[in-house]
Amino acid sequence: MTIPLSLQFINLLAALLLLIAFAMLAQRRILSLINLFAWQGAVLALSTFVVAYTTSQHHLYYSAALTLLLKVMVLPWLLHRLIHRLNVRWDVETLLNIPTTMLAGLALVIFAFNLAAPISQLAQGITRGLIGIALASVMLSLLMMLTRRKAVSQVVAFLSLENGLFFAATSATQGMPLVVELGIALDVLVATFIFGIFFFQIRETFESLDITHMEKLKDD
Amino acid sequence: MIDLQLMALLLIPLFGGGMLAVFGSRSWAAELNSLMSGLTFLASVALTMRVIDSGPQVVFGEQFFIDQFNVFLVALTAFVAFTTSLFSRPYMRIEQHHGKLSTGMLHLYYSMYQMFTFTMLVALTTNNMGIIWVAMEAATLTTVLLVSLYRTPSSLEAAWKYFILCGVGIALALFGTILLYFAAERVLGEGGTALLWTHLNQVKGELEPTVLKLAFIFLLVGYGTKIGLVPLHSWLPDAHAEGPTPVSAVLSGLLLNVALCAVMRSKVLVDGSLKTHFAGNLMMGFGLLSVVVAALFLSRQKDIKRMFAYSSIEHMGLITFAFGMGGPVANFAGMLHMTMHSLTKSAIFFAVGHAAQKAGTQQMERIRGLLQVSPTVGWGLALGTFAILGMPPFGVFASEFLIITTAMHEYPWTTPILLAALGIAFAAIFGKIQPIVFGETTAKPLPHPPALIPVFVHLLLVLILGLYMPPYLANWYRQAAALLG
Look at residue A94 in the predicted model and tell me its pLDDT.
72
Look at residue B191 in the predicted model and tell me its pLDDT.
65
Residues 6+ apart with CB under 8 A from B11: none
Alpha-carbon distance A55 to B384, whole Å? 59
Contact list, A183 vs chain B (CB under 8 Å): 130-131, 133-134
Local confidence band at A57 (pLDDT 50, 70, 90 cut-offs):
confident
End-to-end CA distance of chain B: 29
Asked if A219's CB is within 8 angstroms of B153's CB, the reply is no
Look at residue B227 in the predicted model and tell me its pLDDT.
94
What is the per-residue pLDDT across A185-213, written as a single tens digit (0 to 9) for each? 899 999 999 998 888 888 888 888 887 77
Asked if B175's CB is within 8 angstroms of A174's CB, the reply is no
Look at residue B185 in the predicted model and tell me its pLDDT.
84
ipTM: 0.92
Look at residue B259 in the predicted model and tell me its pLDDT.
95
pLDDT above 70 covers what percent of chain B?
99
Look at residue A58 in the predicted model and tell me its pLDDT.
83
Look at residue A54 in the predicted model and tell me its pLDDT.
84
Asked if A186's CB is within 8 angstroms of B134's CB, the reply is yes
Contact list, B112 vs chain A (CB under 8 Å): none
What is the per-residue pLDDT across B378-397, written as a single tens digit (0 to 9) for each? 999 999 999 999 988 899 99
Alpha-carbon distance B229 to B234, whole Å? 9
Give the best residue of B63, B143, B168 to mutate against chain A (max A CB count within 10 A): B168
Task: Choose among A118, A187, A219: nearest Cβ to B138.
Answer: A187
Does A72 have pLDDT greater than 90?
yes
Residue of B nearest to A168 (CA): B178
A205 Cα to chain B: minimum distance (Å): 6
Residues 6+ apart with CB under 8 A from B25: B103, B104, B106, B107
Residues 6+ apart with CB under 8 A from B359: B366, B367, B368, B442, B443, B444
B138 Cα to chain A: minimum distance (Å): 6
Look at residue A6 in the predicted model and tell me its pLDDT.
80
A132 Cα to chain B: minimum distance (Å): 12
Look at residue A2 in the predicted model and tell me its pLDDT.
64
Look at residue B281 in the predicted model and tell me its pLDDT.
95
Local confidence band at A38 (pLDDT 50, 70, 90 cut-offs):
very high
Contact list, A142 vs chain B (CB under 8 Å): 168
Alpha-carbon distance B460 to B184, whole Å? 46
Give the best residue of A51, A60, A62, A187 to mutate against chain B (max B CB count within 10 A): A187
Contact list, A138 vs chain B (CB under 8 Å): 171, 175
B91 Cα to chain A: minimum distance (Å): 25
Residue of B nearest to A206 (CA): B153
Alpha-carbon distance A176 to B191, whole Å? 8
Local confidence band at A117 (pLDDT 50, 70, 90 cut-offs):
confident
Alpha-carbon distance A28 to A41, whole Å? 20
Asked if A180's CB is within 8 angstroms of B242's CB, the reply is no
Sign of CA dihedral B43, B46, B48, B54: negative
The CA–CA distances, whole Å, from B150 to A106, A140, B361 equal 42, 34, 14
HEC string for chain B: CHHHHHHHHHHHHHHHHHHHHHHCCCCCHHHHHHHHHHHHHHHHHHHHHHHHHHCCEEECCCCEEECHHHHHHHHHHHHHHHHHHHHHHHHHHHHHHCCCCCHHHHHHHHHHHHHHHHHHHHHHHECEHHHHHHHHHHHHHHHHHHHCCCCCHHHHHHHHHHHHHHHHHHHHHHHHHHHHHHHHHHHHCCCHHHHEHHHHHHCHHHCCHHHHHHHHHHHHHHHHHHHCCCCCCCHHHHHHHHCCHHHHHHHHHHHHHHHHHHHHHHHHHHHHHHCCCHHHHHHHHHHHHHHHHHHHHHCCCCEHHHHHHHHHHHHHHHHHHHHHHCHHHHHHHHHHHHHHHHHHHHHHHHHHHHHHHHHCCCEHHHCCCHHHHCHHHHHHHHHHHHHHCCCCCCHHHHHHHHHHHHHHHHCCCHHHHHHHHHHHHHHHHHHHHHHHHCCCCCCCCCCCCCCCHHHHHHHHHHHHHHHCCCHHHHHHHHHHHHHCC
Compute the average pLDDT of residues B362-369. 87
Residue of A nearest to B181 (CA): A173
pLDDT above 90 covers what percent of chain B?
72
A92 Cα to chain B: minimum distance (Å): 21
User: Rounded mean pLDDT of chain A?
Assistant: 86
What is the per-residue pLDDT across B37-60, written as a single tens digit (0 to 9) for each? 999 999 999 999 999 888 888 988
Local confidence band at A28 (pLDDT 50, 70, 90 cut-offs):
confident
What is the per-residue pLDDT across B181-240, written as a single tens digit (0 to 9) for each? 988 888 887 666 888 999 999 998 888 898 899 999 999 999 999 999 988 998 999 999
- β-partners of residue A92 are A29
Alpha-carbon distance B160 to B165, whole Å? 8
Q: How many CB atoms lie under 10 A from the CB of residue A89?
A: 14
Local confidence band at B118 (pLDDT 50, 70, 90 cut-offs):
very high
What is the per-residue pLDDT across B322-355, written as a single tens digit (0 to 9) for each? 999 999 999 999 999 999 999 999 999 999 999 9
Look at residue B52 in the predicted model and tell me its pLDDT.
87
Local confidence band at A60 (pLDDT 50, 70, 90 cut-offs):
confident
Local confidence band at A126 (pLDDT 50, 70, 90 cut-offs):
low
Look at residue A175 in the predicted model and tell me its pLDDT.
75
Asked if A151's CB is within 8 angstroms of B131's CB, the reply is no
**Higher pLDDT, residue B462 or A4:** B462
Give the best residue of B108, B136, B160, B172 to mutate against chain A (max A CB count within 10 A): B160
Does A220 have pLDDT greater than 70?
no
Contact list, B151 vs chain A (CB under 8 Å): 201, 205
Residue burial B299-332, b: 16+ Cβ < 10 Å; e: rest: eebebbbbbbbbbbbbbbbbbbbbbbbbbebbbb
Asked if A179's CB is within 8 angstroms of B190's CB, the reply is no
User: Rounded mean pLDDT of chain B?
Assistant: 91
**Higher pLDDT, residue A170 or B133:** B133
Asked if B211's CB is within 8 angstroms of A122's CB, the reply is yes
Does A3 have pLDDT greater than 80?
no
B463 Cα to chain A: minimum distance (Å): 33
Q: Residue A210 gets which letter from DSSP? A: B
Residue of B nearest to A134 (CA): B175
Local confidence band at B7 (pLDDT 50, 70, 90 cut-offs):
very high
Q: For A130-144, B224-238, B441-455, which range has the lowest pLDDT when averaged over its residues? A: B441-455
Look at residue B398 in the predicted model and tell me its pLDDT.
93
Give the best residue of A130, A217, A218, A219 to mutate against chain B (max B CB count within 10 A): A217
Does A148 have pLDDT greater than 90?
no
Query: Of B251, B256, B249, whose CA–CA distance to B455 is shortest?
Result: B249
CB B457 within 8 A of CB B465: no
Contact list, A211 vs chain B (CB under 8 Å): 160
Task: Choose among B168, B178, B238: nearest Cβ to A217.
Answer: B238
Task: Choose among B138, B141, B154: nearest Cβ to A217.
Answer: B154
Alpha-carbon distance B105 to A201, whole Å? 13
Query: Of B307, B444, B296, whose CA–CA distance to B368 is shortest?
Result: B444
Number of Cα atoms under 13 Å in the Cβ half of residue B1: 8
What stretch of H or E contains A34? Answer: helix A30-55
Give the best residue of B112, B134, B208, B242 to mutate against chain A (max A CB count within 10 A): B134
Q: How many CB atoms lie under 10 A from the CB of residue B468?
A: 10
B171 Cα to chain A: minimum distance (Å): 7
- β-partners of residue A150 are A210
Compute the average pLDDT of residues B104-113. 93
Q: What angle do CA B361, A218, B91 make, to 5 degrees?
A: 30
Look at residue B411 in the predicted model and tell me its pLDDT.
93
What is the per-residue pLDDT across B282-316, written as a single tens digit (0 to 9) for each? 999 999 999 999 999 998 999 999 999 999 999 99
Contact list, B178 vs chain A (CB under 8 Å): 165, 168-169, 172-173, 176
Asked if A57's CB is within 8 angstroms of B133's CB, the reply is no
